[in-house]
Amino acid sequence: MSKSFTTQRLADELGGQLVGDGTIHVTRLAHPADARDVGDLALAMDAKLLPLLANGKSRVAVVAGDAEVPAGSVEACIRVARPRVVLSKLTNMFSEPVPVASGIHPTAIIEAGASIGANVTIGAQSFVGAGAVIGANSVLHPQVYIAPQAVIGENALIYSGVKVGAGVRIGARFIAHFNTSLGADGFSFVTPQTGSVEQVKADGGGEVTASNSAFLRIASLGGLVIGDDVEIGANTSIDQGTIAPTRIGNGSKIDNQVQIGHNVQIGDNCLICGRVGIAGSVTVGNRVVLGGAAGVADHVEIGDDAVIMAMSGVAGNVRPRSVVGGFPARPREQLLESYFNMSRLKSFFRKIEKIIERLDQLEKTPKE
């Protein structure tokens, strides 16, 4: 059954100002160009979308502040101050959870010694190992793997294909999307004698003389600890630590296809966007933002509240509250200056060519 809210109820929930009829029932959110039914709520919080209201079928719209709504286009509008915050509230009000039959499916395997909290749902063909703990009110979709001794807090939502390694500890209200891997061994190897990477780090030279004759595996014993209110996107991998655990702080949000190496320490309320790669032993402070496809070299420290621009390569420490970008990453002002200077190179070359032509002419001119 679809959800339905009156315009007055929506205005109250959103903390907005209702102008017009408060009794209209809204059953769906819609882009103004896609509004096709009188029950659609047209989201016109971007000023560029306001003209589309005139041709839509929706009776209700949400707009930003004192935006000018086309006359006669809707019967009610809700004026709001923070459109993105309102979008968060609206989408959560109208969202419907993916259905999973309550209780433990007959095909799920729960090993002896596992502890399953009250009101837990475990989908078909999922596995919970011996000694694992699943907190109350958690939902595991079909084909989820929870290794022995792993601990998951209450109210978790774990989608199909997620793998949680042995001994991983996760806090409350955790969300993991499809095919996330948590707690695999770190990518950690050593050569019996000095290898190429060790040589380059030691002498900084441009030629390699050492050879990697073999690789000895360094086992990962440290585990992985994830705080409360963390959400992790699809196909993301987080390795456990070598001796001490890899840690993800409370409230941090991690996008799809992110790789987080062994021993990494990530603070609270960080935002890590898609395809970011973080090498081993990196320390990320609180409230840091890592833009899409950024890469961070091993043992780097990133300070609190720093912002790393998309597709940056971070090779050195980053100060708190700084904005860096580029490859290698540097302060944003320097990056923009270098881009500006590069754009001027063509005109400089033309001027240099003209100067060379004049010099050539002068040299060809007979002397008196």
Cβ 100 vs Cβ 121: under 8 Å: yes
Cβ neighbours of 177 (radius 10 Å) = 20
Cβ 134 vs Cβ 153: under 8 Å: no
The residue type of 264 is V
Cα-Cα-Cα-Cα torsion 99, 104, 106, 111, nearest 10 degrees, comes to 140
Tokens matching residue 103: 């209780």
C-alpha to C-alpha distance for 11 and 18, rounded to whole angstroms: 6
Cβ 274 vs Cβ 294: under 8 Å: no
Cβ neighbours of 161 (radius 10 Å) = 18
Exposed/middle/buried for residue 254 (C-beta within 10 Å: 0-12, 13-18, 19+): buried
Q: What is the CA radius of gyration of the chain?
A: 28
Cβ 17 vs Cβ 11: under 8 Å: yes
- The residues carrying an active-site annotation are 262
